[in-house]
């Protein structure tokens, strides 16, 4: 009897132990499943939040891209407008601002006006420049020896119509050893002086050929200077009638403007 009872107790203990192991196993599995489910939910929530953030960033980037495209289009439009305005200014500048020889003449006219020359006088001279001048016979050509640093003789000069005396100086020519020669170097600048009987002096400097004009005793003298034979400069001159502006006739009655000026 004792043996059957002991055997029955042993079986019950084993059965309870099995059930406890099964319960513990089920609890462990439940805990693992619960943790896995929680982790999955957390992962899903995090993934959803990240997806929503990415979608929001994408929308923001798209909005920024559209704004940048609008700014770029506006910048291009303004650039085109600025370039068009600049081109217009260039065209107006080319049309309205004198260039080349006209700019030189404009500056000369401005200088004369600033010096006090009357507008009517300048207008008359410009108009007279287009007229054919009446000149005296054929041009006269003379020659003289320009002074140099090695010149020892008297000053050489030429005179035209007993009104204008021309003299000049230049650089001495150099030989192969670099020593100064007794004649001037025609390839170097020369300085010419045109002196009138009244003592007025006009100077011209440069490499020949050179030209110069001056008015003496109501005559315009036109000079051209070239290199002649060694040691000489040849100067050609011609006197032409210088146009004169008509003086007002004192016998004519004064106009309204003249009366006002007298007042």
Domain extents in the chain: 1-97, 98-131, 134-241
β-strand pairing of 180-184 with 164-170: unpaired
| Least reliable range by pLDDT among 79-88, 234-243, 247-256 | 247-256
Q: Identify which of 14-23, 73-82, 196-205 has the greatest average pLDDT.
A: 196-205
Higher pLDDT, 190 or 13: 190
Please check whether residue 204 is in contact with residue 183, taking contact to mean a CB–CB distance below 8 angstroms: no
pLDDT at 258: 42
**Above 70 in pLDDT, residue 131?**
no
Mean pLDDT computed over every residue of the chain: 80
pLDDT tens figures, 158-217: 999 888 999 999 999 998 888 888 889 999 999 999 999 888 999 999 998 999 999 888
Length of the chain: 263
**Above 80 in pLDDT, residue 74?**
yes
pLDDT tens figures, 141-150: 999 999 998 8
Q: Which residues contact 145 (CB under 8 A, 6 or more apart)?
A: 151, 156, 183, 184, 231, 232, 233
Rg (CA), the chain: 54
| Separation of alpha carbons 91 and 85, rounded Å | 10
């Amino acid at each position: 009897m004792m043996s059957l009872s002991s055997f029955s107790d042993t079986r019950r203990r084993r059965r309870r132990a099995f059930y406890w192991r099964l319960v513990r196993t089920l609890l462990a599995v439940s805990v693992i499943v619960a943790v896995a489910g929680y982790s999955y939910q957390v992962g899903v929530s995090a993934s959803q939040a990240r997806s929503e953030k990415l979608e929001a960033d994408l929308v923001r980037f798209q909005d920024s891209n559209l704004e940048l495209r609008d700014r770029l289009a506006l910048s291009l439009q303004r650039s085109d407008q600025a370039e068009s305005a600049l081109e217009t200014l260039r065209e107006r500048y080319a049309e309205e601002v004198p260039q080349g020889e006209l700019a030189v003449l404009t500056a000369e006219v401005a200088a004369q006006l600033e010096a006090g020359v009357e507008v009517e006088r300048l207008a008359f001279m410009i108009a007279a420049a287009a007229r054919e001048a009446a000149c005296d016979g054929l041009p006269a050509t003379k020659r003289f020896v320009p002074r140099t640093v090695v010149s020892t003789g008297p000053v050489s000069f030429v005179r035209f119509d007993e009104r204008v005396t021309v003299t000049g100086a230049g650089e001495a020519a150099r030989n192969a050893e670099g020593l100064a020669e007794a004649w001037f170097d025609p390839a170097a600048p020369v300085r010419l002086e045109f002196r009138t009987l009244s003592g007025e002096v006009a100077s011209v400097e440069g490499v020949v050929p050179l030209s110069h004009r001056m008015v003496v005793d109501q005559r315009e003298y036109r000079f051209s200077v070239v290199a002649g034979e060694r040691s000489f400069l040849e100067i050609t001159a011609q006197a032409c009638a210088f146009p004169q502006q008509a003086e007002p006739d004192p016998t004519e009655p004064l106009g309204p403007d003249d009366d006002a000026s007298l007042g």
